[in-house]
Chain A
């Protein structure tokens, strides 16, 4: 989706946007058709069944919701960060 920090512009105050690395877009998840080989492993007939799979990175969603600009913060457990979201 469009980057929330630079509003899709790719830069903030003239500097390259750190969150989207200047592209104006941020990846929040992946999606696609299930590979027939995967169906084969679980004995589903891929001629009969197709699958659509999608998922969103939970950190990405939180970054958007709370305007967190560095994904590493979620895994550092710095209490000064964590306590902002009581």
Chain B
């Protein structure tokens, strides 16, 4: 919310400068995010256009005679909208702003007399952007003389410029601070000053000139309508226009500007209907009929549901209550009578309609946070004379009276919660300064909260107010006694894995848990798998982040693509994070969360063994072996014949297993998937479910061998299809305590040396006993057993 310092000073007497006020508000929970100067110029005066003629050397320029109250001077002007000295609106609008030589503009420029196409110009006539008032540069600023400004007046001193604009970050609970008076109330409280506003009584119902029917009192507890006549739709006086512009609101006309002033001042949205365009000259507040449509002020046709609250005339909706007015009853230059609506709408209903329509306005922003239901009459009464004359009495329909609530506060509770002494009198003082009424004794106060503070509902809320106003920085500092709890096992696993991956040369990334359903679909999971059915977020901010990831691959591929687009093609990334799968149990409330390690590699191999070579499957497989080995597991890579992984190449992939346990997959990313993510070249990936593996306990030290080992080799031909893994498994079925190590030494397949379809292998076996030197016979016996087992299980040809 933009707040004018000048306006604040009109509401609270203070000599403090902008920086000091910003600090006070910030420390009290109204964070001032920025301060900017508005109207920082000097030497600009009001001048009246007395004559004009074309520039002799240019048809785009005009020579304008301006009068500064004493004499007439000729100024060159390039704007197309120089007013006619004797034009139709006459003296009504021929005042302009003249920056004379010596004037300084907000951009720092100081004006000097200047020749423009052969004619001297003493300064210039200003457009609004040149004075920092707004963006407009279509022409010079023109205004009429029926206000305080006279030719010759210095604009800055007359309009009390420059002003300072504070951008205040109002938290959602502080609906009362969405207007200047609310902020000023807190500032006055902090300074111990009086808030300069006239008090008004709480609202009551009354019957006036306008005909109003409320059919949905739950949606609209309070509605007031005032008919206003005797008005002319004109631009507002310059001072008001600038006040609106300084707060980022575009001036439109005196009627619209007056409605905007109401929310800027009191936080209460107000709407003006062209009374003569309301069919039946009546207002009906009701639920929309399903499918009913309305063209809103932004020229969009909106389809409504019966959940939406509308303001209707006899025939049709003329506004979406609390959100936006309708085009059919918009105030125009021809409007002669206005029906001024000031109302209190149900915050939840406004929020739902605004969210459903994606229509967020200044009005909905305030109504959905909660306006003051008892300020309605006051706002109507101050706004009406800014527009015209009241035609009869205001109609107030107030079917659901909302009264101030009373909350009990124990001053001792305040002290025990805040951990410091705050005398009861001081607690009372703070609460009354923000407009609360306090009575009762010192062990229990009865605090009545005005309806402009719907956020104060409980004792704790009052304590918060006291803490905030007293100042959090005044609460003494004590160091709490804390108990140290060991780090949970699962987080230390993740840490280990991260360190290991980084040590293996991978770069860690962090990506979002919310992803696009389209990207999940692009991975092609079969429909019956949980991965294909991601959990949808209840209120997604945008469709691209509307479901929870069922795989970390989406983030991996998006990151790979982003890196490639930015020119980094050698990418080796990993992420450790949760994935979220719909629970297999029907009545489960929560999804199944699994901690995953997922990595993707593309480009060239970074290793020193074969630098510059393109990555292949075996590089990545080696990485996984290394990683799991470091965690105390030996990985097996199983290539099932009858199974595929939707996002991996149908043949270049494997299941990663530890013992009997399936822990992940590895492979080349499917070209169809790469194409969807616009990734160049090949990419390899693996994912491991970290929740399914445990980190092996620390190794237990063994005595070093004191007796020599004996090595036996075994050379054979075997079917090329039989993997080393399979052969090793065969040896492992014989558990011979003497056999300490089994290794592959050679695997050769050169034609001519090996029978067709076979491969030659050389394996080495190490035998040792812990307590003696083995005899030849002992070694031979153990070795024969292994060889026997091999021949019995697989077809081998010993050499």
Residues of A whose CB lies within 8 Å of any CB of B are 21-23, 33, 35-36, 50, 52, 74-80, 82-83, 86
**A80 to B559 CA separation, bound complex (whole angstroms):** 12
Interface assignment of B507: CB less than 8 Å from any CB of chain A: yes
Interchain residue pairs with CB less than 8 A apart (18):
A21-B33, A22-B34, A23-B34, A36-B458, A36-B460, A50-B416, A50-B417, A74-B510, A76-B559, A77-B510, A77-B562, A77-B563, A79-B507, A79-B563, A79-B568, A80-B568, A82-B573, A86-B502
Contact partners of B511 in chain A: CB under 8 A: 75, 77
Chain B nearest Cβ from A85, distance in angstroms: 9
Residue in B closest to A47 when the chains form the complex, CB atoms = B413
Q: A36-B458, A82-B509 are in contact. List 4 more A-B contacts (CB 8 A).
A: A77-B559, A79-B571, A79-B573, A82-B508
Known: A35-B460, A50-B417, A83-B507. A76 touches B562 (CB 8 A): yes
Contact partners of A33 in chain B: CB under 8 A: 417, 460
Interface assignment of B512: CB less than 8 Å from any CB of chain A: yes
Q: Which 8 interchain pairs have the tightest Cβ spacing?
A: A77-B509, A77-B559, A82-B507, A79-B568, A79-B507, A79-B563, A36-B460, A79-B571
Contact partners of A52 in chain B: CB under 8 A: 480
Contact A21 B34 (CB under 8 A): yes
Most chain B CB within 10 A, of A74, A75, A77, A86, is at: A77
**A83 to B509 CA separation, bound complex (whole angstroms):** 10
Interface assignment of B474: CB less than 8 Å from any CB of chain A: no
**A69 to B499 CA separation, bound complex (whole angstroms):** 25
Chain A nearest Cβ from B425, distance in angstroms: 23
Chain A nearest Cβ from B694, distance in angstroms: 26
Most chain B CB within 10 A, of A33, A50, A74, A83, is at: A33
- One digit per residue, 1 when the CB lies within 8 angstroms of any chain A CB and 0 when it does not, for chain B 561-579 equals 0110010100111000000
Contact partners of B573 in chain A: CB under 8 A: 77, 79, 82
Contact partners of B507 in chain A: CB under 8 A: 77, 79, 82-83
Contact partners of B559 in chain A: CB under 8 A: 76-77
**A83 to B559 CA separation, bound complex (whole angstroms):** 14
Contact partners of B512 in chain A: CB under 8 A: 75
**A70 to B669 CA separation, bound complex (whole angstroms):** 32
Chain B nearest Cβ from A68, distance in angstroms: 13
**A69 to B553 CA separation, bound complex (whole angstroms):** 28
**B interface, by DSSP: helix, strand, loop or mixed?**
mixed
Contact partners of B563 in chain A: CB under 8 A: 77-79
- Chain B: number of interface residues, binned into ranges: 20 to 34
Contact partners of A36 in chain B: CB under 8 A: 458, 460
Chain B nearest Cβ from A52, distance in angstroms: 7
Chain A nearest Cβ from B541, distance in angstroms: 15
**A80 to B562 CA separation, bound complex (whole angstroms):** 12
Residue in A closest to B563 when the chains form the complex, CB atoms = A79
Q: Which of A21, A35, A75, A79 contacts B510 (CB under 8 A)? A: A75
Contact partners of B555 in chain A: CB under 8 A: 77
Contact partners of B458 in chain A: CB under 8 A: 36
Which residues from 416 to 435 on chain B have a C-beta closer than 8 Å to any C-beta of chain A? Answer: 416-417
**A21 to B562 CA separation, bound complex (whole angstroms):** 28
Chain A nearest Cβ from B469, distance in angstroms: 16
Chain B nearest Cβ from A26, distance in angstroms: 12
Residue in A closest to B467 when the chains form the complex, CB atoms = A33
Contact partners of A82 in chain B: CB under 8 A: 507-509, 573
**A74 to B510 CA separation, bound complex (whole angstroms):** 7
- One digit per residue, 1 when the CB lies within 8 angstroms of any chain A CB and 0 when it does not, for chain B 489-512 equals 000000000000010000111111
Chain A nearest Cβ from B758, distance in angstroms: 44
Chain A nearest Cβ from B306, distance in angstroms: 33
- One digit per residue, 1 when the CB lies within 8 angstroms of any chain A CB and 0 when it does not, for chain B 141-157 equals 00000000000000000
Chain A nearest Cβ from B638, distance in angstroms: 31
**A1 to B583 CA separation, bound complex (whole angstroms):** 43
**A35 to B458 CA separation, bound complex (whole angstroms):** 11
Contact partners of B480 in chain A: CB under 8 A: 52
**A74 to B417 CA separation, bound complex (whole angstroms):** 38
**A41 to B721 CA separation, bound complex (whole angstroms):** 62
Contact partners of B508 in chain A: CB under 8 A: 82
Contact partners of B502 in chain A: CB under 8 A: 86
**A52 to B479 CA separation, bound complex (whole angstroms):** 12
**A86 to B480 CA separation, bound complex (whole angstroms):** 36
**A66 to B566 CA separation, bound complex (whole angstroms):** 23
**A83 to B508 CA separation, bound complex (whole angstroms):** 9
Contact partners of A22 in chain B: CB under 8 A: 34
Residue in A closest to B413 when the chains form the complex, CB atoms = A47
**A77 to B598 CA separation, bound complex (whole angstroms):** 14
Residue in A closest to B509 when the chains form the complex, CB atoms = A77
Contact partners of A50 in chain B: CB under 8 A: 416-417
Contact A78 B417 (CB under 8 A): no
Chain B nearest Cβ from A82, distance in angstroms: 4
Chain B nearest Cβ from A16, distance in angstroms: 9
**A75 to B512 CA separation, bound complex (whole angstroms):** 7
Contact B33 A23 (CB under 8 A): yes
Contact partners of A74 in chain B: CB under 8 A: 510
Most chain B CB within 10 A, of A80, A82, A83, A86, is at: A82
Contact partners of A79 in chain B: CB under 8 A: 507, 563, 568, 571-573
Contact B568 A78 (CB under 8 A): yes
**A41 to B416 CA separation, bound complex (whole angstroms):** 22
**A78 to B566 CA separation, bound complex (whole angstroms):** 8
- One digit per residue, 1 when the CB lies within 8 angstroms of any chain A CB and 0 when it does not, for chain B 531-563 equals 000000000000000000000000100010011
Residue in B closest to A74 when the chains form the complex, CB atoms = B510
Chain B nearest Cβ from A45, distance in angstroms: 14
Contact partners of A23 in chain B: CB under 8 A: 32-34
Chain B nearest Cβ from A74, distance in angstroms: 6
**A80 to B416 CA separation, bound complex (whole angstroms):** 52
**A86 to B33 CA separation, bound complex (whole angstroms):** 35
Contact partners of B566 in chain A: CB under 8 A: 78, 80
**A21 to B167 CA separation, bound complex (whole angstroms):** 12
**A35 to B566 CA separation, bound complex (whole angstroms):** 46
Contact partners of A21 in chain B: CB under 8 A: 33-34
